[in-house]
Amino acid sequence: MNKLNKLGLTALAGTLVTLSAAQAGGVSVNGTMELSWKDLPSNEVTGVPIGMNKNLSFSGSGEFSNGWTFGILHVMNDTMTGQSSSSLNINMGGILTLAYDSGTGGYGANAVDNVVPTAWEEVDYGFATGLSDVGAVTKTHGVMNMTLKAPVSGTALSISYAPRFGNTAIADGGTSGSHATGEFGMDAVLDLWNINSKYIGLRTGAAAEKVSHQNCATTKSAENINGNCSGQKGHAYAATIYQTVRLGPLSAGFQGTYKDPGTAGGVENNQAWVAGAALTLGKYASLSYGKGYDRYYHSGGVAAGGSHDTDDASSSEVDLQHVAAKYHGWSAAINIGPIALKGVVNRVQNEGGAHNSLIEHSNGQRRSEVNLSMAF
C-alpha cells in the first residue's frame, strides 16, 4: 500500500476563481529521512545492504467563504529531481469530499488494499510479488474520487474513476495520450461502519473494481485482434472484504480478496486472504504477527491425471493448476518522539504462484529489514 498519503492530505493554498476563498491558507514542508539495513539469504546477492530514503512534501489548507475547506499535497521523489505524486481535495461540510489524485494512492480501493493491523509493514513486504489485492484503479495517475461519509458511525461510500491507464502525471493543459495498461477503470468502497474511539475500534467494509481493456470480445479489426486478443481475453475485476477490531491495546483483522486479471493464458484468477494481530503499548512500542495465503489458479497445462492442488513447496510436481503462495511474518516498532526504530522478518513459499523447488528453509524464502526513521 502507498504510504505517502500518511504525510497528510492538507494542502497548498491556491486561487479558485469560481469558489472564492475566505482565507488564503498556509504552506508547510514535511518530510522523513529513513536509513535501512536489509538482510537477504546467503544464496542471493546482497551487495550494499544499507539504503536511505528521503521523503519531502509540501502541503497546506484553506477555507472558502461558505465554510468548505480544501487541501493540496505535492510530494517530491526520492532523488529530488521532480514531483512523484500530488492530490487536491475539497471538503463540503464534512459529508461530501471531491478529490483529484495523481499518484498518492490515498483514495478508493487502494486505500483499503490491506487494512489488517501491523506494527510496521505487511506480511508480504520485501518480496517481488506480494499478496493479490485491489487498488489497480486508484494506484494510477489522474483519478477522480467522490466520498460520502456519515458522521459518528464512519459509514462511507467512495467512488473513483480513472479515465486512462498507464500514464504518468499530466501537466497543466496536457493530455495522457493512448492507454498502455488499460482503457479506463472504476472502483467503489463501502465502509458499513468505521468506529475509532479511544478504547474501541471496529471497521467492516468491502471494495470492488473494474479495469476496462480492449480484448477478444470487444475488438473487431484484424489489427486490434492481433495486438490485443492474444494477451487480454476480457476486462479485469477484483473485490475484497475486510473486518478489523480493536479493544484497548489489542487489535486484529481479516481480509479476503478475489482477483481476475482477464488475461488470455497464465493466471485465471487469485483467491487470497490475510489475517493478523497487533499489540500496541501506548505511543511507544508495538508488535504484530500476520499470515497470508494466495491461491493462483493457472490456465496452463495440467499434469496427467487432472487438476493438482498443492500447498507444499517441497512437492516434486512442477506442472500444477493450483499453486498457493503462503506468507507469514513479524513486525515491530519503537517510537521516541520524532524517531522510530522498526523491523520486519517475513517469509514466503511459492512466491508469485510459482512452484519453488529451491528454498533456503522449510518456512520459505526470507526477507528481513531494520529501519531507522526521523520525521521533521
Q: How confident is the model at residue 230 (pLDDT cuts 50, 70, 90)?
A: low
Q: Is position 294 within any domain? A: yes
Q: Is position 71 within any domain? A: no
pLDDT digits (tens, 9 = 90+) for 249-299: 999 999 999 999 988 778 899 999 999 999 999 889 999 999 999 999 987
Q: What is the pLDDT of residue 219?
A: 55
Q: What is the pLDDT of residue 220?
A: 53
- Residue 49 grid coordinates: 545492504
Q: Which of 58-62, 273-277, 322-326 has the highest mean pLDDT?
A: 273-277
Above 60 in pLDDT, residue 13? no
Q: Which of 51-65, 141-155, 161-175, 243-257 has the highest mean pLDDT?
A: 243-257
Q: Is position 204 within any domain? A: yes
- CATH at 369: 2.40.160
Q: How confident is the model at residue 312 (pLDDT cuts 50, 70, 90)?
A: low
DSSP per residue, 273-333: EEEEEEEEETTTEEEEEEEEEEEEEE-S---TTS--EE--TT-S--S-SEEEEEEEEEEEE
pLDDT digits (tens, 9 = 90+) for 97-148: 999 999 999 999 999 999 999 999 999 999 999 999 999 999 988 999 999 9
Q: What is the pLDDT of residue 269?
A: 94
Q: How confident is the model at residue 354 (pLDDT cuts 50, 70, 90)?
A: confident
CB contact at 8 A, 116 and 290: yes
> What's this model's pTM, rounded to 2 decimal places?
0.83
Q: Which amino acid is at 197?
A: S
Q: Is position 242 within any domain? A: yes
Give the span between the Cα atoms of 329 and 51, in whole angstroms: 22
Instruction: Count up the domains in the chain and report the number.
Output: 1
Q: Is position 217 within any domain? A: yes
Q: Is position 245 within any domain? A: yes
Q: Is position 35 within any domain? A: no
Give the span between the Cα atoms of 329 and 347, in whole angstroms: 6
Q: Is position 111 within any domain? A: yes
For 279, residues 6+ apart whose C-beta sits below 8 A from its C-beta are 249, 250, 286, 287, 288
Domain limits at 113? 107-375
Q: Tell me the torsion sign for CA atoms 168, 173, 178, 181.
A: positive
Q: What is the pLDDT of residue 225?
A: 46
Residue 223: helix, strand or coil by DSSP? helix
Q: What is the pLDDT of residue 249?
A: 96
Q: How many CA atoms lie within 13 A of 198 on its CB side?
A: 0
Q: What is the pLDDT of residue 308?
A: 47
- Residue 146 grid coordinates: 467522490
Give the residue among 150, 149, 147, 151 at the shortest CA–CA distance from 159: 147
